Structure 1
Amino acid sequence: MKKLYRLAATTALTFALTATAAQADTWRYAFEEAMDEVQGIFAQKFKEEVEANSDHEIQLFPYGTLGESADIMEQTQAGILQFVDQSPGFTGSLIPEAQVFFVPYLLPAETDELVDFFRNSKAIHEMFPELYAEQGLELLTMFPEGEVAISTKEPFTTPEELDEVKVRVMTNPLLVESYRAFGATPTPLPWGEVYGALQTNIIQGQENPMFYIESTKMYEVTDYVTMIGHNNFTTAVMANKDFFDGLSEEDQQMIRDAIDVAFDHIIEYQQGLHEESIEKIKADKPSVTFTTLTEEQRAPFQEAAADVEAAFIEMTGESGQAILDQMKADLEAAQSN
């Protein structure tokens, strides 16, 4: 009987250890930037939190290691990747309502208001998760990456001066509408082709947050960087929904907690990043001219934004209108806070 008891106990222990080992998985996480850029910093903090609070390991894949943006999204939907960080600019073809983040002059320029909006928005935390779920994705968070600047070969301060200027945009229908309204010729291109296209004058401009213009050396092939105040770059972190739904409640909560810590970390990390990036560009290429449009100079671009908002509603119908209305209410609440 003692032998049988020891055998049963040993078998139970072996089963428990095996089950624990089986649950300690390696999860794959891809993003659209380099390891030392904003999405990479977020991903590293998330990895640190997950590995500190579980037996799981996170394997990170920065931009280019698994292909372009479309490739990593397909791999996430297929379950090859467990996590992905991708801008709504690329998911707009899957989730048209996500293009709302590219309605010009919708998001506030003031940092505290912006962060409050991303923390508390009902549109982000209650409405968008359902839309992402329809595409097999669990929306974990959205966060801002910085004011969008436009780098060009020639200066501009009016929509007329952007006439016939080919500006690279993400493959996003609403972003195309935005630059068309601004007077430019929007030109969708994969990111890997942008530097060469600027170098050979196939395009004459592109838009991105300042840190990305600096880190990707876009200033080497453009001479003017202009802030028209039209947007703040937004990105979203998602999980494969089948994978996420299959986790224990404890692991799901652990992931959400890690996301919250990474969100706070990336907001703090970005303080002063825009200005630091400008100084780095100036140090490397003093001839670059930086211009921030005045309120008066912005007015024609802001007027054009009304046409883009109308285009968004036409593309997305009632669901898009509901998202836009809720976002405006959320933004009012953030301003009050």
Structure 2
Amino acid sequence: MSYQKFFATSAMALLLGTGSAMADTWRYAFEEAMEEVQGKFAQKFKEEIEANSDHEIQLFPFGTLGESDSIMEQTQSGILQFVDQSPGFTGALIPEAQVFFVPYLLPQDTATLATFFEDSKAINEMFPPLYAEQGLELLTMFPEGEVMMTTTEAVAGPEDLDEVKFRVMTNPLLVESYKAFGATPTPLPWGEVYGALQTGIIQGQENPAFYIESTKMYEVTDHITRTGHNNFTTAVMANKEFFDGLSDEDKSLVTNAIDAAFDYIIAYQEGLTDASLAKVMEAKPSMTITTLTEEQRAPFKATAASVEEEFLKIGGDQAGAILEQLKADLAAAQ
């Protein structure tokens, strides 16, 4: 058994052993470190819950309880009460959630994005029943920032991704998207990405700027390319049986805390991308950061239609309705 698996198993046993004795302690796991965007959201949520009730929130950042699949299983089984996880991983459970990986669907403007995520009928009305089928209460979705490619070789067009082994999350539509971009998509757990780049097993990966900086992806790549193809989306969920069993007062407590954390994290991200990129350049002045022109982006944008068609094939029974509603919601936000 690996050290990580041993640690995760031990932590799970501890949680199971203390659950009944700490009925007012709620456990919340997420996919990033405490000082990254999901961690900041979680800390604000914890602050709101504890300031307005006698409940306590225990936070478990990335790696504490295993990889993304582990924390989802623990949430579905009731070991955890809350989880923050990207649709990149929940797409296997909820195929419709893969819609967030159709390239060039989401805008980059943060104000538009905030309005969209807050008011979207697709997110607030159509997705919750799909999550409920998997034992999850969808509490909110929020953006984490413009997705950028980091690679060992410069990228100016799809031809530069030919034969490039590009790490992607274990998400079928993201795989199709990078195939359309010309790369060789390579699904890997996040814990293996740095080493795989360092040893040349893969030659690229994608993430928002803050994550590239905080996880030091710039140490094992040489180029950051802003293609404008996506904005990283994440979702906060609760175990549905737990949530349904809460009193009306506690349900309101949770939803109010989620609303406060949403407003906080949107404001927190103002200027974060530029600040993160500046830190990257300070740490590694030889790094190149390239924003593709509209002309350079055109071949990447041309792939969106084929990826959208693939989503309609693999995105579940409501794929068409959700895609149509998302587009209407985005138009309204703009």
Fold match (TM-score > 0.5): yes
Corresponding residue of 1:224: 223
Corresponding residue of 1:45: 44
Corresponding residue of 1:192: 191
- Which protein shows a greater Rg? 1
State the alpha-carbon separation in 1 of the partners of residues 63 and 317 from structure 2. 37
Shift of 1:216: 0.1
Residue identity in the other structure for 2:34: M
TM-score, normalisation: structure 1: 0.92
Corresponding residue of 2:8: none
Residues 1:97 and 2:100 are matched in the alignment: no
- For the 8 Å contact 1:121–1:330, the answer to whether it is kept is yes
Residue identity in the other structure for 1:154: E
Corresponding residue of 1:259: 258
Change (3 A) 1:24 1:72: closer
Report how many aligned residue pairs link the two structures: 315
Matches within 5 A, 1:29-40: 29-40=28-39
Corresponding residue of 1:208: 207
State the alpha-carbon separation in 1 of the partners of residues 47 and 308 from structure 2. 40
Matches within 5 A, 1:55-204: 55-204=54-203
State the alpha-carbon separation in 2 of the partners of residues 173 and 25 from structure 1. 38
Shift of 1:113: 1.1
Corresponding residue of 2:282: 283
Change (3 A) 1:155 1:230: same
- For the 8 Å contact 2:96–2:316, the answer to whether it is kept is no
Corresponding residue of 2:312: 313
- For the 8 Å contact 1:24–1:57, the answer to whether it is kept is no
Shift of 1:161: 1.1
Corresponding residue of 1:11: none
State the alpha-carbon separation in 1 of the partners of residues 23 and 119 from structure 2. 33
Structure 2 residue ranges without an equivalent (≥5): 1-20
- For the 8 Å contact 2:164–2:184, the answer to whether it is kept is yes
- For the 8 Å contact 1:85–1:237, the answer to whether it is kept is yes
Corresponding residue of 2:5: none
State the alpha-carbon separation in 2 of the partners of residues 216 and 196 from structure 1. 12
State the alpha-carbon separation in 2 of the partners of residues 44 and 317 from structure 1. 34
SS in 2 for 1:312: helix
Corresponding residue of 2:297: 298
Give the CA RMSD over aligned residues.
Answer: 1.2
Q: Please list every run of at least 4 consecutive aligned residues from structure 1 whose deviation after the TM superposition is greater than 2 angstroms.
A: none
SS in 1 for 2:326: helix
- For the 8 Å contact 2:150–2:221, the answer to whether it is kept is yes
Residue identity in the other structure for 2:113: L
Residue identity in the other structure for 1:108: P
Shift of 1:317: 5.0
Change (3 A) 1:317 1:98: closer
Deviations along 1:73-107, whole A, 9 cap, x unmatched? 00000000000000000000000000000000000
SS in 2 for 1:203: coil
- For the 8 Å contact 1:107–1:231, the answer to whether it is kept is yes
State the alpha-carbon separation in 2 of the partners of residues 121 and 113 from structure 1. 11
Shift of 1:316: 2.4
Corresponding residue of 2:322: 323
Structure 1 residue ranges without an equivalent (≥5): 1-21
Residue identity in the other structure for 1:80: I
Shift of 1:249: 0.5
State the alpha-carbon separation in 1 of the partners of residues 40 and 262 from structure 2. 10
Change (3 A) 1:302 1:66: same
Shift of 1:23: 9.0
- For the 8 Å contact 1:24–1:55, the answer to whether it is kept is no
- For the 8 Å contact 2:95–2:316, the answer to whether it is kept is no
State the alpha-carbon separation in 1 of the partners of residues 250 and 147 from structure 2. 35
State the alpha-carbon separation in 1 of the partners of residues 202 and 172 from structure 2. 18
TM-score, normalisation: structure 2: 0.93
Corresponding residue of 2:244: 245
State the alpha-carbon separation in 2 of the partners of residues 112 and 243 from structure 1. 33
SS in 2 for 1:157: coil
SS in 1 for 2:88: helix
State the alpha-carbon separation in 2 of the partners of residues 298 and 135 from structure 1. 37
State the alpha-carbon separation in 2 of the partners of residues 75 and 316 from structure 1. 25
Residue identity in the other structure for 1:65: T
Corresponding residue of 2:333: 334
Deviations along 1:6-55, whole A, 9 cap, x unmatched? xxxxxxxxxxxxxxxx8961000000000000000000000000001111
Residue identity in the other structure for 1:264: D
Change (3 A) 1:317 1:31: closer
SS in 2 for 1:80: coil
Shift of 1:318: 4.4
SS in 1 for 2:141: strand
Residue identity in the other structure for 1:267: I
